[in-house]
Chains A and B, each alone.
Chain A
Amino acid sequence: MINTVSRLLAALLVTTFLAACTGGESNVEIGNREGILHFGNGSEPQGLDPHVVTGVPENKIVRSLFEGLAVKNPWTLEPEPGVAESWDISEDGRVYTFYLNPEAKWSNGEPVTAGDYVWSWNRALHPAMGNQYAYMLFPVVNAQAFASKQIEDFSQVGVKALDERTLQVTLNEATPYFLQLMDHYSTFAVHPETILKHGKMTDRYTKWTRVGNMVNNGPFNLKEWKLNRRIVVEKSDTYWDRDKVRLNGVVYYPTENIVSEERMFRVGQLHTTGTVPLDKIPVYQAMENTPYVQSPYLGTYYYLINTNREPLTDVRVRRALSLAIDRVKLNDTVLQKSNFPAYSITPPGTMGYQPPKLFDYDPELARSLLADAGYPDGEGWPEVELVYNTSEGHRKIAVALQQMWKDVLNIKITIANQEWKVYLDSVDTMNFDIARRGWIGDYVDPNNFLDLFITDGGNNNTGFANPRYDDLILNLAPQADTQEERFRLFYEAETLLMEQMPILPIYTYTNKKLKHPSVRDMPSNLMDSLNLKYVWLDADWDKGAEK
C-alpha cells in the first residue's frame, strides 16, 4: 500500500518536473529572439499624458513614447540631440535657440514644429491644466506669472517660434540645468490636433492617450494597454533616429507586489525589475554572476507631515517624531544596509553640495520636545495616521517606525496602506496626517529638491510656507554669481526647512534592480535615466559561458 502511494507520488513529481522543463520558452527567451524587452515597471500608470502624470512608472513609459528637445545620454547624463539637432546659448546664458531636426516626425508622419512646442508649453503651464510639474518651465520668462494667473496672455511668456524649425527660449536668468529640463516629460511637445480632437487643450484624462488615438514622437508607439496587466509599445517607423533603435518593442508590467515581481524575474518573465525585495538582497549579493545591480540614486525617501493638522501643527511635535527615529538602525536591519540614512531632503553630494545635518537620533530630546508640546510621555496624544502606497518595502519601514515612536515617545500612530492612485490623490489633496513620499531628482541640482517646498508648490503637500525660504530659492539663489554662493544660499534654505521639519527624511536612495545578463547598453546612472533607444538584447548572452 505505502509502496504504491510513494510510487504514485514519485511518478507525479517526475511528470511535473518534466512538464516544467519542457513547458515552452519563457518571456525572456522569446523576447531575446524577437527583440522584445519585458520590463517590470512598479505600478499601473496613472495616465500617459506628459503634462498630467507625475510618477516614476509613468516616466519610464512616457519617455519611450515621447522625446524632448535634448536628451540625457544614459552613460554621461550630458544632453545630446533629441528633437533639436542643435542649439545655441547666448553669452549671458539667458537665450536658448533650438534648431529642430527636420526629420523629427510625429507618429502620423507630420513634422514636429516649433509651433507645436509653443502650443505644448502653453498647455503645460496653463493654470487650468493643473500640471504639477509646471514649475519645470519656471526658469522661462513670465512662465510662473502665467501659471499663477498673474498674466493671461501667453505671448508674453519667453518662448517663440522664429520659424517652423527654430524655437527661441528666453530665461529669467542663466540656469545651468536648463538643458537637463528639456528631457523632462512636462516640457515635451504633444500633438495639438490630436488633443483638440478629443477635448479642450486643458482637459485632463481625455481619450487621446488611448491605443489608436495617441500621436507621439518618440522611438516607440503605443500598441496595447491592458489595465493592470501590461502596456506594450512597438518600435516606431517615423522616429528620426529609428536606425539606432534596436529593440522591436517593450512590454511594461505593473508589478506593485515586489515579491511576485522578483518571482516573475526568476522564472524568466521579466528582463528587469524595478526593485528587489529587501530580504532577497543578501541572497542575490552572495550569488556568482549576480543579476543584482545596486548603484547610487538621486532620490530621497521621506514622510510628508501635514502641518495643517493637529497635533502636527506644532514644530516640537514634528521634531520629536523625527528625533525618535533611529535611522542608522533602520538601515542596518530592516533595509539590509541597502541605503544611506538621510537627515535632510537633498542627497549629499548632489553636484558637490553637502546639505546640513542638524539632528541625530536623540530619544531624550525627542521626549522632552513632546512633553513641551503638551504630550508628556504620550499622554493625551490624539489619533495620527500614517499612509503609504501598498508595497512590502514601505510596510516594513512603517511598521519599524511605528514601534520606534511607541518605544521612544509612547505614542500610537496607526498605519494604513492605499492603492497607488488613491494614495496619490490623498497626497495631492493633503488628505493625510503623515504620508510616505519619495522624491527622485528630475535633474542633477540641489534646486530640484529644495524648490519642492516653496509656498503652495505643486509637490509641497505639507502646508509648509516660509517667505524667507521662498525668497532664497526663487530669487536669491538663481541670481548668485558663483556656484559657491549659490550653494551657501541653498544651505541656508535647507537649514530653515529642517528646523521646521515639515518632512521626516528617512534615507537616500540607492538604485536596486535585477537585470538579466542578456540586456545590453542599459547603464546604471545617478538618475536611473533610461533611454530605451540604446538598449538591445543579446540572444547569445550565454554562449560564452558554455564554451
Chain B
Amino acid sequence: MTTEIITDIAEAEQGSSLWHDAWLRLRKNRLALAGGIILVAFSIIALLTPWIAPYAYDAQNLDLGATPPSAQHWLGTDIFGRDLLTQIMYGGRVSLAVGLIATSVALLIGVTWGAVAGYVGGKVDAVMMRLVDIMYALPFMIFIVLLMVVFGRNILLLFLAIGAVEWLTMARIMRSQVQQLRQQEFVEAAISLGLPPGTIIRRHLIPNALGPIIVYTTLTIPSVMLLEAFLSFLGLGIQPPQTSWGLLISYGAETMEEFPWLLIFPGLALTITLFSLNFLGDGLRDALDVRRSKD
C-alpha cells in the first residue's frame, strides 16, 4: 500500500512531456480518435492507390456510360464509363495533398509572421501587419491567376500558391495570441533569464497558442480543398483526366438528377474527411491546452 503511493508520487514528480500528456488525453476522446483513424486510413489508401485501385483511373468504357453501383463497379461509373471508386481514390490523392501541403505552407508562414510581429511589436509589428492588410485587400484570385500565368500550370505550384494566400488570417490569430501571452509572467521570466527571442517564441509562445491555431488549421484544410476545385473548374488548377474530390463534386452536381451517385459518393468522401478533421482538431485542442493541463 505504502509502496504504491510512493511510486505514484515518484511518477508524478518525474513528469511527462507535453506530447505524452496530450496523447493520454486524446485517447480518451473517442470522436477525435475515430477521426484520426479515418484520416490515417484515407491517407494510406491515397498513398497506395496506384497499386490497389480496381481500375486504371483514365480507362474509359464509352459503351457502358453512366451506371449505378454494381458488383463490378462498387460506386458506379461516370458518363465515360470510368469507375467512380477509382476516380474518388485518385481524387483523394490530389485533395488530401493540397489540403496538407497548402495548409502547411499557410501554417508555416502565418505562424512565423504573426509570432514575430506580435513578439517584437512596435514599428516592425505595424509594418508587418499593414503588409498583411494590403494582401487582404488584393483579390486573391488575381494573385493566383498571375502566378499560374507566369509559371504555367503545375500542381505543386498550385498548392504553394493556395498556401501563400491562406496564411493571412493565421498570422493575425497568432499575433493576437502572442501579444496576450507576452504580458504574462512566465514570458517575462524567460526574457529576464536572457533567453534569445527565437527560443522564447519556439519554446513558450507557440506551444501556448496551439489551441486556436489547430482549430483554425482544421478550418483551413477544407477551404483550400474547395479552392482547388474552384481553380480547376476555371481551368487554372488540375486538368482532366486528373481529378480531385472538388472537381468530381462539381461535375456530379451538374448531373445530380440523372446520375445522383456521381455527386453522393465524392460528396461523402469529402464530408467524412472534413468531419474527421474537425473532430480531431477539437480533440487536439483540448489535449494540447497547456494551461488546463497544469490544473
Residues of chain A whose beta carbon lies under 8 Å from any beta carbon of chain B: 259, 277, 279-280, 283, 329-330, 333-334, 390, 392, 395-396, 398-400, 402-403, 406-407, 414-419
Other A-B pairs, 11, CB within 8 Å; known A279-B66, A399-B80, A417-B235: A279-B79, A280-B258, A333-B62, A333-B63, A333-B65, A334-B79, A334-B80, A390-B234, A396-B80, A403-B60, A407-B60
Known contacts A329-B63, A330-B62; is-contact A259 B235 (Cβ 8 Å): no
B residues near A402, Cβ cutoff 8 Å: 240-241
B255 at the interface (CB under 8 A from A): yes
Interchain CB contact under 8 A, B240 and A418? no
Q: Looking at B65, B239, B259, which has the most chain A CB atoms within 10 Å of its CB?
A: B239
A192 smallest CB distance to B (angstroms): 40
Answer whether residue B254 sits at the interface, using C-beta atoms and an 8 A cutoff: yes
**A417 neighbours in B (Cβ, 8 Å):** 234-235, 239
Confirm or deny: B153 has a beta carbon within 8 angstroms of a beta carbon on chain A. yes
Q: Closest chain B residue to A392 by CB distance?
A: B254
Q: Write out the residue numbers on chain B whose beta carbons fall within 8 Å of the beta carbon of A400.
A: 60, 62, 80
Interface residues of B (CB under 8 A from A): 58-60, 62-63, 65-66, 79-81, 153, 234-235, 239-241, 254-255, 257-259
B254: chain A residues within 8 A (beta carbon): 259, 277, 279, 392
Nearest 3 interchain pairs by C-beta: A417-B235, A333-B62, A259-B254
Contact indicator A395/B80 (Cβ below 8 Å): no
CA distance A136 to B239 in the complex (A): 38
Does A279 lie within 8 Å of B235, measured CB to CB?
Answer: no
A283 to B239, CA, bound (A): 29
Task: Chain A residues near B240: list those with CB within 8 A.
Answer: 395, 398-399, 402, 415
Known contacts A399-B240, A403-B80; A334 and B62 CB within 8 A of each other: yes
Cβ contacts A to B, 17 pairs, < 8 Å: A259-B254, A279-B66, A279-B258, A279-B259, A329-B62, A330-B62, A333-B62, A333-B63, A334-B79, A396-B79, A399-B241, A402-B240, A403-B58, A403-B59, A403-B241, A406-B58, A417-B235
Would you give the shortest CB distance from B160 to chain A, in whole angstroms? 20
* Interchain CA distance A470-B80 in the complex, whole Å: 41
CB atoms of B259 and A416 under 8 A apart: no
- Of chain B, the residue at the smallest CB distance from A277 is B254
**A contact patch SS:** helix
Give CA–CA (A283, B257) in the complex, Å. Answer: 10
The residue on A at minimum CB distance from B235 is A417
Q: Which residue of A lies closest to B60 (CB)?
A: A403
List the A side residues contacting B79 at CB < 8 Å.
Answer: 279, 333-334, 396
CA separation between A418 and B149, bound complex, in Å? Answer: 12
Q: Which residue of the partner chain A has the closest CB to B61?
A: A333
How many Å from the CB of B64 to the closest CB on chain A? 9
Return chain A residues, CB-CB under 8 Å to B234.
390, 417, 419
| Distance (whole angstroms) from the CB of A52 to the closest CB of chain B | 25
* Among A392, A416, A419, contact of B239 (Cβ-Cβ < 8 Å): A416
B246 to chain A, nearest CB (A): 15
- In the bound assembly, the distance between CA atoms of A400 and B63 in angstroms comes to 12
Q: How far is the CB of B280 from chain A (nearest CB, A)?
A: 27
Chain A residues contacting B66 (CB-CB under 8 Å) are 279
Note all chain A residues with C-beta closer than 8 A to B60: 400, 403, 407
Contact, CB under 8 Å: A415 / B80: no
B91 shortest CB reach to chain A, Å: 15
- B235 near A390: Cβ-Cβ < 8 Å: yes
Report how far A411 CA is from B259 CA in the complex, Å.
31
Judge whether A415 and B63 touch: CB under 8 Å.
no
State how many angstroms separate the Cβ of B62 from the closest Cβ of chain A. Answer: 4
Chain A residues with CB below 8 A from B255, complex form: 259, 277, 279
The complex places the Cα of A191 from the Cα of B233 at a distance, in Å, of 42
Q: Which residue of A lies closest to B254 (CB)?
A: A259
- Which residue in B65, B80, B239 is a CB contact (below 8 Å) of A414? B239
A305 to B81, CA, bound (A): 28
B239–A415 contact, CB under 8 A? yes
Chain A nearest CB from B197 CB (Å) reads: 48
**What residues of chain B lie closer than 8 Å to A416, measured between beta carbons?**
153, 235, 239
Nearest CB on A from B242, distance (A): 10
**Closest residue on chain A to residue B81 by CB atoms:** A333
Residues of B within 8 A of A414 (CB): 239
* B239 CB contacts on chain A under 8 angstroms: 414-417
How many angstroms between the C-alpha atoms of A60 and B88 in the bound complex? 41
Task: Give the residues in chain B near A279, CB-CB below 8 Å.
Answer: 66, 79, 254-255, 258-259
Contact between chains at A283 and B235 (CB < 8 Å): no
Contact call A283/B258, Cβ cutoff below 8 A: yes
Chain B residues, CB < 8 A from A399: 80, 240-241
Smallest beta-carbon distance B48→chain A, Å: 24
Query: Smallest CB–CB gap between B150 and chain A, Å?
Result: 16
Q: How far is the CA of A415 from the CA of B58 in the complex (A)?
A: 14
Q: Which residues of A contact B258 (CB under 8 A)?
A: 279-280, 283
A385 to chain B, nearest CB (A): 9
- Give min CB distance, B113 to chain A, whole Å: 34
Give every chain B residue within 8 A of A333 (Cβ-Cβ): 62-63, 65, 79, 81
- Report the minimal beta-carbon distance from A408 to chain B, rounded to whole angstroms: 12
Closest to B255 in A: A279
Instruction: List residues of chain B with CB within 8 A of the CB of A418.
Output: 235
- Minimal beta-carbon separation of A384 from chain B (angstroms): 13
Minimum CB–CB distance from A204 to chain B (whole Å) comes to 24
Chain A residues contacting B259 (CB-CB under 8 Å) are 279
Distance of A329 Cα from B62 Cα, bound (Å): 7
When distances are taken between beta carbons in the complex, the residues of chain B under 8 Å from A334 are 62, 79-80
**Shortest CB–CB separation between residue A43 and chain B, in angstroms?**
15
Closest to A259 in B: B254
Task: Give the docked Cα–Cα distance between A264 and B81 (Å).
Answer: 29
A-chain residues with CB within 8 Å of residue B58 when the two chains form the complex: 403, 406
Smallest beta-carbon distance B295→chain A, Å? 34
Taken together as a complex, chains A and B put the C-alpha atoms of A279 and B60 apart, in Å, by: 17
User: In the complex, what residue of chain B is closest to A406 when comparing beta carbons?
Assistant: B58
Which residues on A sit within 8 Å (CB–CB) of B241? 399, 402-403
Residues of B within 8 A of A403 (CB): 58-60, 80, 241
B85 to chain A, nearest CB (A): 18
Bound-state CA distance A329–B60 (Å) is 12
A407 to B80, CA, bound (A): 14
